[in-house]
């Protein structure tokens, strides 16, 4: 199980991540390259097409958790499944009464592989920001004292986090919300797309993580920054809202 906070129901709270407790059941993904870093061609597949999750045979580099300490193992993993949507194999996460998160541990230099690409297909979510979003963790650039090192059974070490969200309107596309100076452990939030009229379709998006990092934390040193995890999360929302993600990769 895991204790995970979302700032204003949108961002990941790094302060909460420092005390995560993870359910030991893990997830296996068939057909994925589980190397911890990019290959010679400068690419790292985080979540390739054709994936299939097997809860009985989990790899060590995927971490899945919920925000409710009292839920059972079955209910913890029920928000996550492998599906095929419009012919595209994908990982589906759905919102529930508690927070859910599924991330893969990676080790990639931000400046060497700054481009994150993925495809997503989100269901209609009603008013507000869609509860399903991409999440990324960084380590090595924040001022001393910000890092969440030595976490036990929680998210990989990180000192910055970024949430890539679907806004309530297409007019918010490109908006970057930065945590206030007094709350450095909260995540920055970047609106990649938006609008309920654009849901229920597959979209392919690419963002430059190095540029977003620079805008969010201009005083950090980017050169030593590593990307430590990439995945998806769902803020609490009932009735349940679904999101499907496929073809996630880092590249230069």
Is 95 buried (19+), middle (13-18) or exposed (0-12) by CB count in 10 A? Answer: buried
First to last CA, the chain: 35
Q: Highest-confidence range of 35-39, 52-56, 98-102, 117-121, by mean pLDDT?
A: 117-121
Domain residue extents for the chain? 6-251
DSSP 181: T
Q: How many residues does the chain have?
A: 252
Angle at 22 between CA 18 and CA 23, to 5 degrees: 170
Q: Average pLDDT in the 204-221 region?
A: 97
Q: Is the pLDDT of residue 212 over 60?
A: yes
Q: Which of 22 and 82 is assigned the larger pLDDT?
A: 82
pLDDT band, residue 37 (cuts 50/70/90): confident
Backbone torsion region of residue 228, taken as left when φ is above 0, otherwise alpha when ψ lies between -120 and 50, otherwise beta: alpha
| Gap between the Cα atoms of 114 and 117, Å rounded | 10
Q: Which of 163 and 157 is assigned the larger pLDDT?
A: 163
Please confirm whether the linkage preceding 175 is cis (ω < 30° from 0): no
Q: Average pLDDT in the 105-114 region?
A: 96
Q: Average pLDDT in the 108-130 region?
A: 94
**How is domain 6-251 classified at the architecture level of CATH?**
Sandwich (2.60)
Q: Average pLDDT in the 105-126 region?
A: 95
Dump pLDDT digits (tens) for 54-72.
Answer: 545 546 788 877 765 555 4
Q: Average pLDDT in the 173-192 region?
A: 91
């Amino acid at each position: 199980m895991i204790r995970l906070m979302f700032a204003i129901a949108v961002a990941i709270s790094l302060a909460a991540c420092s005390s995560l407790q993870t359910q030991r059941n893990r997830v296996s993904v068939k057909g994925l390259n589980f190397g911890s870093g990019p290959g010679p061609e400068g690419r790292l597949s985080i979540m390739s097409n054709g994936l299939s999750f097997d809860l009985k045979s989990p790899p060590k580099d995927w971490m899945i958790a919920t925000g409710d300490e009292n839920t059972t193992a079955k209910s913890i993993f029920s928000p996550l499944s492998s599906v095929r949507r419009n012919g595209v194999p994908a990982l589906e996460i759905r919102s529930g009464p508690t927070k859910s998160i599924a991330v893969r541990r990676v080790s990639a230099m931000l400046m060497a592989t700054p481009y994150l690409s993925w495809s997503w297909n989100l269901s209609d979510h009603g008013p507000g920001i869609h509860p399903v979003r991409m999440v990324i963790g960084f380590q090595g650039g924040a001022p001393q004292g910000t890092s969440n090192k030595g976490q036990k059974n929680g998210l990989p070490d990180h000192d910055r986090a970024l949430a890539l969200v679907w806004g309530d309107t297409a007019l918010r596309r490109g908006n970057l919300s930065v945590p206030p100076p007094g709350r450095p452990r909260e995540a920055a939030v970047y609106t990649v797309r938006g609008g309920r009229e654009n849901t229920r379709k597959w979209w392919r998006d690419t963002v430059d993580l190095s540029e977003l990092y620079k805008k969010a934390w201009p005083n950090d040193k980017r050169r030593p920054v590593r990307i430590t995890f990439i995945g998806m999360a769902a803020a609490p929302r009932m009735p349940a809202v679904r999101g499907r993600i496929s073809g996630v990769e880092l590249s230069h």
